[in-house]
Every structure is written in C-alpha cells, then in structure tokens.
Amino acid sequence: MPDSKRVIPLESNPDIFTAMAHKLGLSPVLEFHDVLSLTEPDLVAFLPQPVFGVTLLFPITKEYEDYRTRFDSTRAPYSSESIDTVRWFKQTIGNGCGLYALLHLITNLQSDLIIDNSLLNSFLIQQLNRSLSTEDIAKLVENLEQQIQLDENYGSGGQTEAPPPEISVELHFITFVKGKDNHLYELDGRRTGPVDLGESVGGSNIIEDPKLNEKIQFYISNTNEANKHNFAMIALGPSLD
C-alpha cells in the first residue's frame, strides 16, 4: 500500500505532541512529558504519574530492519481481529510516524479521557469496527490528518530546523500502551500489526512494567555504535497545570 502523501517529520517534543493531542480531543488533564530514564528511580519519580503510554523515537538501522523483517515474516497479516482489545493503524503517510505514534496512544485510552465531540471521536474512534479492513482504517487516519493539517500546524514547530517532507528521515516513532486485556503492546504502523509483549505487571502505570524497559533496552543494545544515543522518549501522564 503506497504512501498517500508525505509530511514533515515531527520532533520528539512533548509540547508539540501535547498541542496536537489536545487539538484531536485529548482531555486537558493529560499532557506529554520527556522521559529522562526508565531505570534511575529519582528520574522516574520526577515523571508525573500514572503514565498511560510511552512513545519512543529510535534510529532505523540495518540491524533493526533485519530484526523487523525476520520477526514479522512469522506473523499472519493483521485483519482488525483485536480492534476491541488494542487499536493499531497501518502507516500510509510518509514520515508520518509521529502522528501514528500519537494515535496509537490516545485511541487506546479509556473513553472518558477523550472529549465527546472531538475530531478524534468523529473522524476515527466512532467509525472503528471489526468489519473495516486495515486499508479502510488507514483511510480514516488519512482523512483525520487532513483535518489537523500536520505540516502547517505541527511539522515546523520544533526546536530544530525541520527537513522537507520529501526527505526520508532514518528515525522512527513507536508507542507502548496497555490493551484492554491487560497486556503490554508495542504499536508501530510499519509492522504487520500490534506486537503483544505479554501480560502487564505495572498496573495502570506502565512505566513500572519491566517489559517496557526490556524492549527499549533491546532496541538500544541492538543498534550500531553510531546510533546508540539517537533515542528519545516522551510519556503521557497528568498535566502539571
């Protein structure tokens, strides 16, 4: 399925993600925060909690692509069979992984954290059902992007100069959330579907789930030396206001 369009890649910036999430309809009681560490207790405690989800920005390297291809080759194509447990969207917007990471997080929140008459509810959540194909759902996301105008409103809002949309950036966003079955999921629009990491032991606060740290450390450990520090995390938690 070819890209429907290409956009300016988003920066891993909690202010940008918060502004876009609130535009889509996320309750103002939540916002995004930088994650400075998953292992140092003082830095973890500094993060407003509970954490509802974590978004990871990481480098696309040969090592990662080899792993992704090998892992996904053993999986059947996704067909919306688990849409009531965890919501996943196939990425069809080039460089749009930041939007998909955000949608993977906020569409999997409990419904009272999304404003009723929001863009997110009207253009996406209320239309999701098992009868829709992966391609049908991808079109819903594309229509939602047209409503928020990603490039005009968010693509150039970072602290660094934004590359043009025609440039393919070798960095990628994915999201970790807990599904309705109490399992921790890795959600990535470039994969063949949601990746079930097993039953969560972090309660409502996924930052306490050791499987989250294990998977992120796996990606860090298996990248090449030139990219060891090209990782960034932001988390969704209570607003500081």
Q: So what's the pLDDT on residue 33? A: 97
Q: How many CB atoms lie within 10 A of CB 226?
A: 9
pLDDT at 216: 95
Task: State residue 154's pLDDT score.
Answer: 82
* Contact yes or no for 88/102 (Cβ under 8 A): no
Q: Which two tokens stand for residue 47?
A: 């993060």
Q: In sequence order, what are the beta bridge partners of 55?
A: 175, 234
Cβ atoms 196, 178 nearer than 8 A: no
Report the pLDDT value the prediction gives residue 164, as an integer from 0 to 100. Answer: 63
The answer to whether 89 and 100 are in contact (CB under 8 A) is yes
172 is catalytic: yes
What pLDDT shows up at residue 4? 74
Contact 186, 101 (CB under 8 A): no
- Alpha carbons within 13 A on the beta-carbon side of 31: 15
Question: What is the per-residue DSSP string for the chain?
Answer: ---SEE-PPPPS-HHHHHHHHHHHTB-TTEEEEE---SS-HHHHHHS-SS--EEEEEEE--HHHHHHHHHHHTTSPPP-STTTTT-------EET-HHHHHHHHHHTTS-GGGB-TTSHHHHHTGGG--TTS-HHHHHHHHHHHHHHHTHIIIIIT-SSSPPPPTTS--SEEEEEEEE-TTSEEEEE-TTSSS-EEEEE--STT-GGG-HHHHHHHHHHHHTS-GGGTT--EEEEEEE---
pLDDT at residue 79, as a whole number? 86
pLDDT for 198: 96
Is position 97 annotated as part of the catalytic site? yes
At residue 1, the pLDDT reads 59
Catalytic residue among 33, 97, 104, 183: 97
Domains of the chain as residue ranges with CATH: 5-238 (3.40.532.10)
**pLDDT score, position 74:** 93
Reading the chain (241 residues) residue by residue, the pLDDT tens digits are: 567 789 989 999 999 999 999 999 999 999 999 999 998 999 999 999 999 999 999 999 999 999 999 999 999 888 888 899 999 999 999 999 999 999 999 999 999 999 999 999 999 999 999 999 999 999 999 999 999 988 787 876 655 666 666 677 789 999 999 999 999 999 999 999 999 999 998 778 999 999 999 999 999 998 988 888 899 999 999 999 7
Prediction pTM value = 0.94
Note the pLDDT of residue 169.
77
